[in-house]
């Protein structure tokens, strides 16, 4: 219980590792600036929630499936190294998956050759499992091998860490990505069968002083965002952390009381589930409710995207997400994003979560996480929320 006192005081100790995260241009904006987005969206229809609910049935019983998803709007990346001597990679730290993957030097797809790739022959600590893994995104099929090596995050080293080495990446989105791979921070139940996620491996090896990590996603375009491992720094939020127990232990899933706009319930009318997902840019919900919300904010479906008048960012009311009887406002400046050109703004709401199951589910992505500093507490199976500075 001693560490709970430390978290209560939220003290920064010498044991806390802070990993700088950089906000980079999203794939969507990159494609838009090249005048490629419209054709891309027409040729490659996508599901914003493809990464949720993927099961082993996608592959044969002898092959493990590694989750992958749509990458068009993921924008925060940090650096890790793999191997001895270390090979550098930029990755997305994703709270809604649990595996680590990077491109292999044996991959000759355009998405691989335009990014850094791992060369097993240059690492003295690499071990091959000779086990095939298949990554199943919404289009194409990414395949590779499962390997083991030393993974370093800050000063933490995860020895004999399992990770995927992609050998084929036909997925077009990845060609325009500003990152090399993904490092999952979800529960072990989401990981490839028989493997241990990075965070759990660090914990087993006694490297993490406390079983927590935290995310601060700054609105600054280049600097300021961080991933904290092993503790919390109170300089990144104001007020007290409000704790919310998890309702499931795979994704970071909680109970959401309701969503209101100007006092009217517009979503989650009878209570529902919510997943906090650093790997999604949007606020996602059931298509019917999202359609109503798009009408409320007067979003129009133009060129395969929901466009909103930019003046609405300063005139529309907040959406209120009530969690554990605490209200968390999401203002218009957050749920309406500026485009790369003047007078072009877009809705940060997206639908499709009804495919996750019978129970109503919402996904709180970076739109929400930028507003609220979030502590992910594996020791107590809960999250902590506070207003980000």
Let me know: does 87 contact 165? Beta carbons within 8 Å: no
Concatenated DSSP letters of 27-45? HHHHHHHTT-HHHHHHHS-
Identify the residue whose tokens are 């989650």: 268
Q: Annotated catalytic, 257? A: no
End-to-end CA distance of the chain: give it in Å, rounded: 28
Catalytic residue among 99, 180, 200, 277: 277
State the greatest distance between any 2 C-alpha atoms of the chain, in Å, as a whole number. Answer: 61
Peptide bond between residue 137 and the one before it cis (omega within 30 degrees of 0): no
Let me know: does 95 contact 229? Beta carbons within 8 Å: no
Q: Classify residue 356 by its DSSP letter.
A: G
Q: Annotated catalytic, 377? A: no
Reading the block at residue 335, the tokens are: 């749920």
Strand 349-351 versus strand 283-285 pairing type: parallel
Kind and range of the H or E run holding 175: none
Concatenated DSSP letters of 102-154? EEBTT--SHHHHTS--B-GGG-TT-EEEEEEEEE--SSS-EEEEEEEEEEEET
Identify the residue whose tokens are 């060369």: 119
Coil, strand, or helix at residue 3?
Answer: helix
Catalytic residue among 94, 149, 200, 377: 94
Category of 82 on φ-ψ map: left (φ > 0), alpha (ψ -120 to 50) or beta: beta
Active site (catalytic) residues = 94, 277
């Amino acid at each position: 219980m001693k560490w709970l006192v430390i978290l209560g005081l939220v003290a920064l100790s010498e044991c806390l590792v802070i990993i700088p995260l950089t906000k980079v241009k999203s794939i969507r904006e990159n494609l838009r600036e090249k005048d490629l987005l419209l054709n891309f969206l027409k040729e490659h229809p996508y599901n914003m929630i493809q990464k949720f609910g993927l099961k082993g049935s996608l592959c044969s019983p002898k092959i493990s499936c590694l989750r992958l998803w749509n990458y068009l709007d993921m924008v925060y990346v940090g650096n890790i190294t793999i191997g001895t001597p270390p090979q550098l990679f930029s990755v997305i730290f994703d709270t809604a998956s649990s595996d680590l993957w990077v491109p292999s030097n044996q991959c000759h797809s355009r998405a691989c050759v335009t990014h850094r790739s791992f060369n097993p022959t240059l690492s003295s600590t690499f071990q091959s499992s000779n086990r095939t893994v298949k990554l199943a995104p919404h289009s194409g099929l990414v395949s590779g091998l499962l390997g083991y090596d030393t993974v370093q995050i800050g000063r933490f080293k995860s020895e004999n860490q399992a990770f995927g080495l992609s050998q084929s990446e036909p997925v077009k989105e990845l060609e325009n990505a500003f990152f090399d791979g993904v490092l999952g921070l979800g529960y072990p139940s989401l990981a490839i069968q028989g493997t241990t996620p990075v965070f759990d491996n660090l914990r087993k090896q006694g490297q993490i002083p406390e079983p927590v990590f935290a995310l601060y996603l700054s609105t600054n375009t280049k600097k300021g965002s961080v991933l904290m491992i092993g503790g919390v720094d109170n300089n990144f939020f104001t007020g007290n952390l409000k704790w919310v127990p998890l309702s499931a232990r795979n994704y970071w899933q909680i109970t959401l009381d309701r969503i209101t706009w100007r006092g009217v319930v517009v979503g989650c009318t009878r209570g529902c589930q919510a997943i906090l997902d650093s790997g999604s840019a949007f606020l996602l919900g059931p298509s019917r409710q999202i359609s109503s919300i798009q009408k409320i904010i007067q979003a129009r479906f133009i060129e395969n995207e929901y466009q909103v008048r930019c003046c609405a960012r300063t005139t529309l009311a907040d959406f209120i997400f009530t969690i554990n009887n605490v209200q968390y406002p999401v203002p218009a400046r957050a749920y309406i994003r500026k485009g790369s050109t003047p007078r072009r703004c877009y809705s940060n709401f997206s639908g499709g979560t009804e495919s996750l199951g019978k129970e109503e589910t919402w996904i709180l992505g970076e739109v929400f996480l930028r507003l609220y500093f979030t502590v992910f507490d594996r020791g107590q199976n809960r999250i902590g929320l506070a207003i980000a500075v």
